[in-house]
């Protein structure tokens, strides 16, 4: 299967797509540092730039033939729906679903996968589903956290999946329901994450694009009520640092006194966040020619760090701010992989059906 990637970012959905045996034939991304990462990791795949400029002619100019695209996917900007923003929804200038919908209408792929935050459900999901269904797509919505696939943080995400009705196989609804029923799915996913947390320990805060800020001093790591600021990832890692041989001299945290020891050093390490987000280590470092394979999920917050994890904090890291911003906006590949794998399985089954 050949795929067109929209709002590609640093390639989280693209990694999931390739894990399922699909081929990405073109990207669409405009953020400069993310573009550098894509070029570094996929040097032979063209980046066609702004989605607002994508046409069939433009795709043909970069070698993508008409009718070649089996699947269009992308995580269109989530700021209009995120709780971290002003939640203006469709009135936000960054609401680019109409461009996604236009490209689907012009290319008419067999499959579409759209990713976003769960806040989309009450603000624009009905419009998204209505647009796809008007273009003759059968649609389904799925909401679940990254912790459902083993990640030590929640990162709840909504996936909208569509298959063109004239080629749908097998012929059954993907997942239908009202907004209220879909909202119930969100609650189920939260409970799933809570079960994971209760059974295994404490989940880390979900990475965000603002994680490059963090606190640089001991005072900034404690709230006015004397409790530790562990609700944001850059601060949380400083309470559970990577063990170092010099640390026998001072306790990192004196939990009896609820204050920090002297050595909180360093800032949130992008290499460790890559591990937390399911990416190969060094993926967002454009000076890294060959990233190390993803080693596995980090230990939960408050637990001893696994030997294979990169340090949680670092004193020197090139392009740290840019890397953390990109990672905060990224999709966990393992979270999206089950959807792409099921699509690939259905596609193979349909080919076998045609042969029979």
Q: Enumerate the active-site residues.
A: 78
DSSP strands (E only) in the chain: 2-6, 23-28, 71-74, 111-116, 137-144, 157-164, 253-254, 259-260, 267-268, 313-314
| Sign, Cα dihedral of 224, 229, 231, 234 | positive
Cα diameter, the chain: 72
Beta-bridged to residue 253, according to DSSP, are 260
| Selection from 354, 257, 253, 266 nearest residue 310 by Cα | 266
Beta-bridged to residue 314, according to DSSP, are 267
Say how far apart CA 164 and CA 137 lie, in whole Å.
4
CB proximity list for 50: less than 8 A, separation 6 or greater: 28, 30
| Sign, Cα dihedral of 333, 337, 338, 340 | positive
Burial class of residue 257 in the structure, from the number of CB atoms within 10 Å of its CB (0-12 exposed, 13-18 middle, 19+ buried): exposed
CB 79 within 8 A of CB 92: yes
Residue indicated by tokens 């799915």: 185
Q: What b/e readout covers 328-354, taking b as 16+ CB neighbours within 10 angstroms?
A: bbbbbbbbbbbbbbebbebbeebeeee
CB proximity list for 318: less than 8 A, separation 6 or greater: 285, 287
Say how far apart CA 115 and CA 141 lie, in whole Å.
10
């Amino acid at each position: 299967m050949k795929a067109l990637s929209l709002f590609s970012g640093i390639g989280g959905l693209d990694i999931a797509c390739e894990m399922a045996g699909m081929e990405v034939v073109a990207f669409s991304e405009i953020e400069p540092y993310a573009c550098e990462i894509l070029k570094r990791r996929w040097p032979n795949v063209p980046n066609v730039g702004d989605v607002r400029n994508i046409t069939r002619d433009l795709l043909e100019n970069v070698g993508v033939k008409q009718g070649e695209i089996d699947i269009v996917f992308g995580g269109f900007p989530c700021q209009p729906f995120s709780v971290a923003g002003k939640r203006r929804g469709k009135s936000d200038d960054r609401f680019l679903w109409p461009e996604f919908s236009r490209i689907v209408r012009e290319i008419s792929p067999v499959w579409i996968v759209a990713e976003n935050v769960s806040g989309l459900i009450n603000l624009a999901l009905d419009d998204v589903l209505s647009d796809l269904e008007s273009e003759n797509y059968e649609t389904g919505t799925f909401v679940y956290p990254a912790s459902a696939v083993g990640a030590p943080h929640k990162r709840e995400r909504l996936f909208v999946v569509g298959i063109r009705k004239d080629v749908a196989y097998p012929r059954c609804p993907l997942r239908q329901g009202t907004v209220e029923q879909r909202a119930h799915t969100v609650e189920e996913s939260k409970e799933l994450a809570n079960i994971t947390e209760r059974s295994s320990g404490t989940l880390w805060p979900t990475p965000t694009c603002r994680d490059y800020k963090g606190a640089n001093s001991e005072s900034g790591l404690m709230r006015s009520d004397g409790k530790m600021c562990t609700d944001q990832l850059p601060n949380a890692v400083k309470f559970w640092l990577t063990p170092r041989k010099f640390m026998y001299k001072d306790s990192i945290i004196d939990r009896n006194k609820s204050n920090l020891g002297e050595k909180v050093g360093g800032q949130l390490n992008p290499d460790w966040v890559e591990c937390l987000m399911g990416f190969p280590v060094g993926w967002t470092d454009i000076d890294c020619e060959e990233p190390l394979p993803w080693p596995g999920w980090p230990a939960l917050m408050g637990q001893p760090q696994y030997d294979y994890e990169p340090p949680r904090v670092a004193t020197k890291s090139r392009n740290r701010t840019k890397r953390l911003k990109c990672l905060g906006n990224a999709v966990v590949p393992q979270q999206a992989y089950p959807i792409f794998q099921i699509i690939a399985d259905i596609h193979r089954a349909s080919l076998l059906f045609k042969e029979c």
